[in-house]
């Protein structure tokens, strides 16, 4: 029995592959190694995984139905699918909207069709995002909150993916779980995320742009906690009672809003350098605060995030120095 992981060379996907392999799973990884950010980082993540026994890599685009069907066939018997490939980035979606429709809607459909064709599939776990909560001001964000007022196309495509997941669970009884990730950070993280951007700029002595004049709060969630949550969810597919769709959604975050300026201060401390901050208005599509209500996930899976930013940020900076040889 195998697990197929899309986005296997991505930040979260590569860590999940490592964890599944450590559990003795046979893992088939799919990634197109695109150039949204430096493919060298993706290849470096992939090289770490390919050293492990039990891993097979398929270079494919999730919008290519034939290539995805071939990957699924190679992975037979296919026990589960972890679908984390996507076009990420709120700000990028403002300038490149078609990338998001292609990857996050058309790609989601291809993966759902692949799962529909897979005999005996136990569980599909797919990535959603906290961005689906849009401009909601109630904190923390809860699964029961309205999510019909997105403020970025990225958010709209992730919500569309949730609705598609529910539809296929209803029509074809595919046990499915969508995970709304909250500001994931840690070693091997994405260069377009704040942790990496700030660390690189501060290390190089360049100023950093701090939006909303620094009045931002985020539910920074360390990658090890995210992986623990993913594995807990994967092991618990929703039951099919024959009536309701076997589909559910969870928030997965640290359940702790942290001030952006404190977050930056910890990076400064870890680097031993002081940042030059340029205070700017909030960007289109962004929100000043978000953090996760994780009561449902805690109740159903026992998930408890354990890594505070005081511990996680130094770990990231240590990895950054090692990876870049600084």
CATH number, domain containing residue 209: 3.90.25.10
What is the CATH classification number for the domain harbouring 93? 3.40.50.720
Q: Do residue 67 and residue 169 come from a single domain? A: yes
Residue 82 has pLDDT above 80, yes or no: yes
Catalytic residues: 154
Peptide bond preceding 69: is omega within 30 degrees of 0, i.e. cis? no
Q: Which residue has the higher pLDDT, 35 or 55?
A: 55
Per-residue pLDDT band at 135 (split at 50, 70, 90): confident
Q: Do residue 120 and residue 138 come from a single domain? A: yes
Q: Do residue 178 and residue 79 come from a single domain? A: yes
**Whose CA is closest to 123, among 261, 288, 8, 248?**
248
Q: Do residue 199 and residue 230 come from a single domain? A: no
Question: What average pLDDT does range 286-300 have in this prediction?
Answer: 92
Question: What average pLDDT does range 92-120 have in this prediction?
Answer: 94
pLDDT of residue 289: 87
Peptide bond preceding 77: is omega within 30 degrees of 0, i.e. cis? yes
Task: In whole angstroms, give the CA distance from residue 262 to residue 24.
Answer: 39
Q: Are strands 123-129 and 78-83 parallel, antiparallel or unpaired?
A: parallel
Angle at 198 between CA 182 and CA 220, to 5 degrees: 20
Q: Is the dihedral of CA 146, 148, 151, 155 positive or negative?
A: positive
pLDDT of residue 108: 98
Q: Do residue 77 and residue 96 come from a single domain? A: yes
pLDDT of residue 229: 98
Per-residue pLDDT band at 283 (split at 50, 70, 90): confident
Q: Which two tokens stand for residue 24?
A: 């003795």
Q: Do residue 169 and residue 155 come from a single domain? A: yes
Q: Do residue 237 and residue 204 come from a single domain? A: no
Residue 246 has pLDDT above 90, yes or no: yes
Query: In this structure, is residue 302 part of a structural domain?
Result: no
Residue 245 has pLDDT above 80, yes or no: yes
> How many independent structural domains does the chain possess?
2
Task: In whole angstroms, give the CA distance from residue 109 to residue 97.
Answer: 18
pLDDT of residue 311: 98
Query: In this structure, is residue 297 part of a structural domain?
Result: no
Q: What is the pTM of this model?
A: 0.96
Q: Do residue 127 and residue 175 come from a single domain? A: yes
Per-residue pLDDT band at 91 (split at 50, 70, 90): confident
Q: Do residue 49 and residue 136 come from a single domain? A: yes
Q: Do residue 156 and residue 283 come from a single domain? A: no
- Region for residue 87 given its phi and psi (left: phi exceeds 0; alpha: psi -120 to 50; beta: otherwise): beta
Question: What average pLDDT does range 237-253 have in this prediction?
Answer: 96
With contact defined as beta carbons under 8 Å apart, do 303 and 252 qualify? yes
- Under DSSP, the state recorded for 130 is G
Question: What average pLDDT does range 171-179 have in this prediction?
Answer: 98
Task: In whole angstroms, give the CA distance from residue 162 to residue 278.
Answer: 37
Query: In this structure, is residue 142 part of a structural domain?
Result: yes
Provide the domain limits for residue 283.
Answer: 194-218+256-289+307-324
pLDDT of residue 93: 82
Burial of 138 from C-beta contacts in 10 A (0-12 / 13-18 / 19+): exposed
Question: What average pLDDT does range 291-319 have in this prediction?
Answer: 97
């Amino acid at each position: 029995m195998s697990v197929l992981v899309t986005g296997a060379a991505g930040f979260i996907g590569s860590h999940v592959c490592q964890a599944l392999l450590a559990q003795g799973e046979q893992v088939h990884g799919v990634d197109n190694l695109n150039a949204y950010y430096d493919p060298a980082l993706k290849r470096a993540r992939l090289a770490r995984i390919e050293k492990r026994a039990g891993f097979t890599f398929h270079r494919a685009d999730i919008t290519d139905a034939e290539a995805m069907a071939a990957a699924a066939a190679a992975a037979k018997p296919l026990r589960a699918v972890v679908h984390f490939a996507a076009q990420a980035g709120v700000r990028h979606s403002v300038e490149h909207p078609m990338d998001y429709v292609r990857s996050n809607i058309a790609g989601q459909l291809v993966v759902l069709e692949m799962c529909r064709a897979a005999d005996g599939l136990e569980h599909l776990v797919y990535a959603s995002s906290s961005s689906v909560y849009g401009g909601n001001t109630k904190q923390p964000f809860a699964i029961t909150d309205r999510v019909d007022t997105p403020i970025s196309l990225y958010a709209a495509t992730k919500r569309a993916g949730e609705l598609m997941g529910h539809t296929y669970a209803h029509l074809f009884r595919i046990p499915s779980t969508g995970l709304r990730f909250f500001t994931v950070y840690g070693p091997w993280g994405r260069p377009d995320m704040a942790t990496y951007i700030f660390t690189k700029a501060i290390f190089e002595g360049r100023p950093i742009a701090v939006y909303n004049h620094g009045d931002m709060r985020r539910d920074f969630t360390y990658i090890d906690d995210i992986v623990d949550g993913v594995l807990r969810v994967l092991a618990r597919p929703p039951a099919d009672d024959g009536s309701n769709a076997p589909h559910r959604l969870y928030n997965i975050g640290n359940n702790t809003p942290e001030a952006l300026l404190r977050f930056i201060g910890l990076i400064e401390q870890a680097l031993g350098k002081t940042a030059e901050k340029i205070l700017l208005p909030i960007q289109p599509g962004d929100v000043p605060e978000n953090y996760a209500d994780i009561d449902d996930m805690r109740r159903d899976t026992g998930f408890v995030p354990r890594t505070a930013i005081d511990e996680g940020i130094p770990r990231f900076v240590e990895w950054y120095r090692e990876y870049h040889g600084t």
